[in-house]
Structure 1
Amino acid sequence: MDVTDYASEREDAHRAAAIAAALAQQQQPAGASAEYCENCGEEIPEARRLAIPGVVLCVDCKSRLERCRGWK
């Protein structure tokens, strides 16, 4: 096994773990959506609260969080 094969296997494992974590998070029972963002305190629009049950972050804060975690 050369370095390229090893890197490819590591990337595949990392991707599989990230997908599994995302799926597990989606399968958790959602509670009531927050009216205000837990991070910045801004109001979360009603449309977002209805579309994503259990949402606790506004779009801006969720986007920042995903960028920090390397999600696209």
Structure 2
Amino acid sequence: MATGWAGDGAVQDQIDATVEDAVKRARNQLKKGPGLTHCEECDAPIPAARREAVPGVRLCVACQSAHDEEAAFSGYNRRGSKDSQLR
């Protein structure tokens, strides 16, 4: 495929660089450091295995699951269906 002045792999290189930047940004947003020994919401003990697996953990599994369910719900239809666009 003729790409003008760009090299043969320039498009793929740009895609790879974009993905790499997104991964770095996501990794920088992860919490670091030692986690809490007890959940900050319900004060239940957090097992050592969870603290090792999730650096900077602050919630027990039950509270984290509840938090994730709340964050996953959105009052908006983000699928872009025609119904949501016509309203």
**TM-score per shorter chain, which class?**
0.5 to 0.7
- Aligned residue in 2 for 1:14: none
Cα distance in 1 for partners of 2:45, 2:61 equals 10
Give the percent of matched residue pairs that are identical in Structure 1 and Structure 2.
43
Q: Which structure is higher in RCO with an 8 Å CA cutoff and minimum separation 6?
A: 1
Query: 3-state DSSP class of the match of 1:69?
Result: helix
Unaligned 5+ segments in structure 2 are: 1-21, 74-87
Tell me the C-alpha RMSD between the 2 structures: 2.1
TM-score normalised by L of structure 2: 0.49
The answer to whether the aligner puts 1:63 opposite 2:65 as a matched pair is yes
Query: 3-state DSSP class of the match of 1:33?
Result: coil
Work out which of the two has the higher radius of gyration on C-alpha atoms and give 1 or 2.
2
Cα distance in 1 for partners of 2:69, 2:61 equals 12
Where is the helix percentage greater, Structure 1 or Structure 2? 1
Q: CA deviation at 1:27?
A: 2.0
TM-score normalised by L of structure 1: 0.59
Q: Number of residue pairs matched?
A: 49
Aligned residue identity for 2:38: Y
Q: CA deviation at 1:70?
A: 1.2
Query: 3-state DSSP class of the match of 1:48?
Result: helix
The answer to whether the aligner puts 1:32 opposite 2:34 as a matched pair is yes
Cα distance in 2 for partners of 1:27, 1:44 equals 24
